[in-house]
Amino acid sequence: MKVLVAVKRVVDFNVKVRVKSDGSAVDLASVKMSMNPFDEIAVEEAVRLREAGVVSEVLAVSCGSAASQETLRTALAMGADRALLVESGDSVEPLAVAKLLKAVCDREQPQLVILGKQAIDDDCNQTGQMLAALADLPQATFASALKVEGGALVVTREIDGGLETLSLDLPAVVTTDLRLNEPRYVTLPSIMKAKKKPLDVVTPADLGVDISPRLTTLHYAEPARRGGGVRVPDVAALIDKLKNEAKVLEG
Ligand code: AMP
């Protein structure tokens, strides 16, 4: 059984994101980039399935600029067997990524596709769902546990107020939630080994996919700066402020 894992190169989660002064984009100059954290969880889950003997091959796929090769090398160092870069420029919209992944699925015929539940740069939470729709595959989003049982995929999802467990026919699409696993640290020997693993590059045109943007971003803005705090003398003064200044309590 082959697993395809989608990995996106994003601004590292520790970086404080800044907007360019003209509001046209996020400033990416000299910013540390890393694999999207939910995608690390996706790679970890795929590699664990391979280590458990359930899966025979893990293919990591990224859509982006040539710099995404670095992210794919990290996936290879974590244990993926092969990588594929769909070289498509810096910013590809979720629908275009879903179409590219669908085209890769048509070529590679994976039994399972694992994506992150969302990319922490655009927070779209769309790509997995769009891919499942385009490929007409069953989907389980926000997975917190996953196992393959007798040809079916059993996925536990975190939902409001509890857990939901689904059984899906394979092939299927899964998106990862935070508690699915804790990704391993990448060791130096595995980084060295990853350099020798295959990493292919194709273009959207090779896959017959039009990735022209469909959305226009009008403006980016940083959140309003937080005002300074004040110390109140007693509870009565606090309640007065909550009622009459913040207006979050009814009087
Ligand atoms: P999003 O819908 O943008 O929040 O992304 C959800 C998930 O789709 C991510 O966690 C990735 O697994 C996958 N994904 C999104 N964009 C890309 C990309 N450019 N290359 C590879 N995978 C992607």
- Domain extents for the chain? 2-244
Best mutation site among 7, 70, 97 for ligand 1 pocket (most ligand atoms within 8 Å of CB)? 97
Within 10 angstroms of residue 25's Cβ, the number of other Cβ atoms is 12
Name the average pLDDT for the chain: 95
* Confidence at residue 250, expressed as pLDDT on a 0 to 100 scale: 82
| CB of 50 sitting under 6 A from ligand 1 | no
* 2-244 CATH fold: Rossmann fold (3.40.50)
pLDDT at 227: 81
**CA nearest neighbour of 36 among 127, 161, 152:** 127
4 CB near ligand 1 (under 6 Å): no
- Provide the b/e sequence for 195-215 (b: ≥16 CB within 10 Å): eebebeebebeebebebeeee
Q: Strand 162-169 and strand 199-202: pairing?
A: unpaired
The full DSSP string for the chain is: -EEEEE--EEE-TTS---B-TTSSSB--TT--EEE-HHHHHHHHHHHHHHHTTS-SEEEEEEEE-TTHHHHHHHHHHHT-SEEEEEE--S---HHHHHHHHHHHHHHH--SEEEEES--TTT----HHHHHHHHHT--EEEEEEEEEEETTEEEEEEEETTEEEEEEEESSEEEEE-GGG--PPPPPHHHHHHHTTS-EEEE-TTTTT-------------PPPPPPPP---SSHHHHHHHHHHTS--S--
In the reported structure, the alpha carbon of residue 177 is separated from the centroid of ligand 1 by a whole-number distance in angstroms of 13
Question: Ligand 1 atom closest to Cα of 38?
Answer: 10
- In the reported structure, the alpha carbon of residue 50 is separated from the centroid of ligand 1 by a whole-number distance in angstroms of 22
Q: Which two tokens stand for residue 85?
A: 């870069």
Strand order in the sheet with 139-149: 162-169, 152-159, 139-149, 172-176, 112-116, 2-6, 57-64, 82-87, 199-202
Establish whether residue 37 lines the binding site of ligand 1, counting it when its CB lies within 6 angstroms of any ligand atom. no
> Does ligand 1 come within 6 angstroms of the Cβ of 118?
yes
- Is the CB of 80 within 6 Å of ligand 1? no
**pLDDT for the residue numbered 150:** 85
Question: How many Å lie between the centroid of ligand 1 and the Cα of residue 188?
Answer: 27
pLDDT of residue 205: 96
6 lines ligand 1 (CB under 6 A): yes
Q: How far apart are CA 69 and CA 75, in angstroms?
A: 10
Residue 89: strand pairing partners:
none
**pLDDT given for residue 246 in this prediction:** 86
**Per-residue model confidence (pLDDT) at position 58:** 98
Ligand 1 centroid to 99 CA: how many Å?
A: 12
- Bridge partners of residue 46, in order along the sequence: none
Report pLDDT for 226: 83
pLDDT in tens, the chain (251 residues): 999 999 999 999 999 999 998 998 899 888 999 999 999 999 999 999 999 999 999 999 999 999 999 999 999 999 999 999 999 987 899 999 999 999 999 999 999 999 999 999 999 999 999 999 999 999 999 999 999 998 899 999 989 989 999 999 999 999 999 999 999 999 999 999 999 999 999 999 999 999 999 999 999 998 888 888 889 999 999 999 999 988 898 87
Give buried/exposed letters for 132-159 (b at 16+ CB in 10 A, else e). Answer: bebbebbbbbbbbbbebeeeebebbbbe
pTM for the model stands at 0.91
Q: How close is the Cα of 122 to the center of ligand 1, in Å? A: 9
Please indicate whether residue 127, judged by its CB atom, sits closer than 6 Å to ligand 1. Answer: yes
pLDDT tens for each residue of 83-138: 999 999 878 999 999 999 999 999 999 999 999 999 999 999 999 999 999 999 99
